[in-house]
A = this chain, B = another copy of it.
Amino acid sequence: MDESSPRAVTMRDVAQAAGVSVSTVSHVVNNKKGARIGKDAWERVQRAIEELGYRPNAMAKDLVKGRSRFIGLVADAIASTPFAGQIIRGAQDEAWRHGYVLLVANTEGNEAAETEALAMMLEHKVRGVLYSAWYHREVELPAGLTETDCVLVNCFASDSDIPAVVPDEVAGGRQAARMLLAAGHRRIGFINTTTPSPAHDGRLRGYREALDEAGVPFDPALVVDARPDQEGGFEAVGRLLDRGVTGVFCHNDRVAMGLYDGVRERGLRVPDDLAVVGFDNQEVIAAHLRPPLSTVALPHYELGLAGVRLLLGLDEPAPGGRVAVDCPPVHRSSVTAAPPG
């Protein structure tokens, strides 16, 4: 609480109090190695800093150095899912590790908000910006983006060469199918999403690859599309059960949750009558369904982290400019051995 703003204490105040010059203060504040400062002056400065409660002015510092320590992060949906939150966490952790601070902007997909956010970031002379989406998809980039370094997180722009870090959907789909295959299932349903997307195509491909790998013939009748939420999962149950499926891979955990309901409604049980695997590893759902859901995790934290590493030039962008991050399987209790036969 500043009582009537008694003017913030500056480096000059410290210098004066310690009886030294500002450059001496600057040296001790920044712990400059090359600088030879007398042990005695050093201590006087430290004490003055303590006593006056001096805080360096980051803006003055950045101004003189010509660049700021900000990294912008624009997110299209910060509250509807935990996904953006994880991206932010990952990005922030890595950014801080390198002395950077995140400038977060939530745009809710609103174009005006996006432009405003970008302008704000550009005016703060950010080191670069991370442009992220809450679900993996292609995006068209806002104009201002080309004015700074940029990396796309959980999204991509096919017509540009901007580096992007995205989840490896096909490897994820493979993992999901393998969990079922490993338990001995052979008739494995797949509830895919109705939304055209990398997730739709990638996971399907992964599912097919895993089937091939295991020598199980692909049966198109076993894959059905449904809205990627609980209602979609619920409605898909009948179709799948009719086809003699013993396990099903759901496009996401919400679908799996709806599917649980449908299974129960028919007096059946997970996993004994039907084994199920989800996708996303959305904690509130997956870890607390009955039984807890085996699923494949979407690596949002790692996506954010990898995004800043790429931006900062700590990692080399992959040849195609696209970095694919792994989706690890998470084993819980919704998969058991297939019934014999």
Interface residues of A (CB under 8 A from B): 1-2, 8, 53, 55-60, 62-63, 66, 68, 78-82, 84-86, 88-89, 92, 96, 101-106, 108, 116, 119-120, 122-125, 146-150, 229-231, 234, 254, 257-258, 261, 264, 282-285, 288-290, 301
- Minimal beta-carbon separation of A277 from chain B (angstroms): 19
Q: Give the number of times this chain occurs in the complex, counting copies.
A: 2
Evaluate contact between A288 and B106: CB separation under 8 angstroms. Answer: no
Chain B residue numbers with a CB within 8 Å of A258 are 288, 290
Evaluate contact between A86 and B92: CB separation under 8 angstroms. Answer: no
- Minimal beta-carbon separation of A31 from chain B (angstroms): 15
- Minimal beta-carbon separation of A107 from chain B (angstroms): 10
With A59-B59, A82-B80, A89-B106 as known contacts, state yes or no: A284 contacts B285, CB within 8 Å: yes
Evaluate contact between A106 and B80: CB separation under 8 angstroms. Answer: no
Evaluate contact between A60 and B63: CB separation under 8 angstroms. Answer: yes
- Minimal beta-carbon separation of A48 from chain B (angstroms): 17
Evaluate contact between B59 and A124: CB separation under 8 angstroms. Answer: yes
Q: When A and B form their complex, which 6 residue pairs have the shortest distance between CB atoms, in order from nearest?
A: A79-B85, A230-B288, A58-B123, A59-B59, A78-B85, A104-B104
Evaluate contact between A57 and B123: CB separation under 8 angstroms. Answer: yes
Partner among B1, B56, B104 whose Cβ is within 8 Å of the Cβ of A123: B56
Instruction: With A58-B120, A258-B290 given, name 19 new contacts (CB 8 A).
Output: A1-B150, A2-B149, A55-B119, A55-B122, A55-B147, A57-B125, A59-B125, A79-B89, A81-B284, A85-B85, A88-B104, A101-B103, A101-B120, A102-B104, A230-B288, A230-B290, A254-B284, A282-B284, A284-B284
With A284-B282, A285-B284 as known contacts, state yes or no: A123 contacts B290, CB within 8 Å: no
- In the assembled complex, the Cα of A254 lies from the Cα of B282 at a distance in Å of 14
Chain B residue numbers with a CB within 8 Å of A229 are 288
- In the assembled complex, the Cα of A106 lies from the Cα of B78 at a distance in Å of 13
Evaluate contact between A80 and B283: CB separation under 8 angstroms. Answer: yes
Chain B residue numbers with a CB within 8 Å of A264 are 264
